[in-house]
Amino acid sequence: MSIFKVQHIDHVVLRVKDMERSLEFYIEVLGCLVKKRNDQYAMIHLAAGSSMIDLVDIDGPLGAMGGGAPGKEGRNVDHFCLRVEPFDETTILTHLQNHGIAAEKAVTRYGAEGVGPSIYCFDPDGNQVELKGPAQAETM
């Protein structure tokens, strides 16, 4: 029995070789809309229905952490995010730890609903999973 229920996939982060070409595809071909630009990480957040697709330039600070360009030897997806309820940091961290899964305390990240808490862990195959809590009011 799980301590929370997955609500939906919040966002997917894709490492891209050519940001303009990728933007053209996701905007012009698929009809996504630019929701936010995050120049610090060379990332563009695209609205995809109620979810998001984040494009990360492979030459930017976040994209470079994934290794070489996407291909047979380089991973393309950085992580996927699951919006969970309820989001109780202590309970979730204890639950993960009880299953032998390492995770650190929550950090604040931007997601499809806005800025809120996130806990990161890895699945058995090394895929990074973000467990996302509800959005909090942004402060200027």
* pLDDT recorded at residue 19: 93
d(CA 43, CA 56): 4
> At residue 73, what are phi and psi to the nearest 5 degrees?
-105, -5
Structure-token pair, residue 73: 């030897």
Tens-place pLDDT, residues 91-137 = 999 999 999 999 999 999 999 999 999 999 998 767 789 999 999 97
Amino acid identity, position 63: G
Residue 51 CA neighbour count, 13 Å, CB half: 14
* pTM of structure: 0.73
Q: Following CA atoms 25, 27, 32, 38 in sequence, which dihedral angle do they give, to the nearest 10 degrees?
A: 100
Query: Domains (ranges, CATH) in the chain?
Result: 5-132 (3.10.180.10)
